[in-house]
């Protein structure tokens, strides 16, 4: 089930990146696919490029809010920050309870 969610997320990110290529450079579908494939072979640098293109595609092409686009292109980063904030909150509550 989780693999299916990853596949759906990746497809949504790729479509957002295609939209970003169209917004930035007015590229057609074939050139967008070529850029996507080349970027995938570049590893982390290509992934960062695709994330930026997907963010631009979601915000400027689809008129999404910045936080929605960030959640689409970097869900691990957003969820990690939320978990860190939650852990800090509960650590603070525990520290305050221990002062009694």
What end-to-end distance do the CA atoms of the chain give, in Å?
46
Separation of alpha carbons 62 and 14, rounded Å: 14
What is the number of other CB atoms lying within 10 angstroms of the CB of residue 74?
Answer: 17
Domain parsing of the chain, residue ranges: 2-74
Separation of alpha carbons 20 and 73, rounded Å: 12
Bigger pLDDT: 75 vs 28: 75
Separation of alpha carbons 93 and 82, rounded Å: 16
The token duo for 21 is 């290529």
Q: Looking at residue 62, what is its pLDDT?
A: 93
Separation of alpha carbons 96 and 100, rounded Å: 8
Q: Has this prediction a pTM greater than 0.85? A: no
- pLDDT tens-digit series, residues 10-22: 999 999 999 999 8
Bigger pLDDT: 62 vs 26: 62
Q: Burial of 89 by CB count in 10 Å (0-12 exposed, 13-18 middle, 19+ buried)?
A: exposed
The token duo for 72 is 């689409």
Q: Is pLDDT above 70 for 100?
A: no
- pLDDT tens-digit series, residues 35-72: 988 998 998 999 899 999 999 999 999 999 999 999 99
């Amino acid at each position: 089930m989780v693999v299916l969610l990853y596949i759906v997320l990746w497809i949504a990110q790729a479509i957002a990146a295609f939209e970003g290529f169209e917004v930035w450079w007015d590229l057609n579908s074939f050139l967008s696919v070529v850029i996507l494939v080349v970027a995938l072979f570049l590893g982390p640098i290509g992934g960062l490029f695709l994330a930026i293109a997907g963010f631009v595609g979601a915000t400027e092409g689809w008129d999404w809010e910045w936080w929605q686009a960030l959640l689409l292109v970097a869900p691990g980063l957003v969820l990690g920050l939320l978990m860190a904030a939650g852990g800090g909150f509960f650590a603070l509550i525990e520290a305050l309870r221990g002062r009694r």
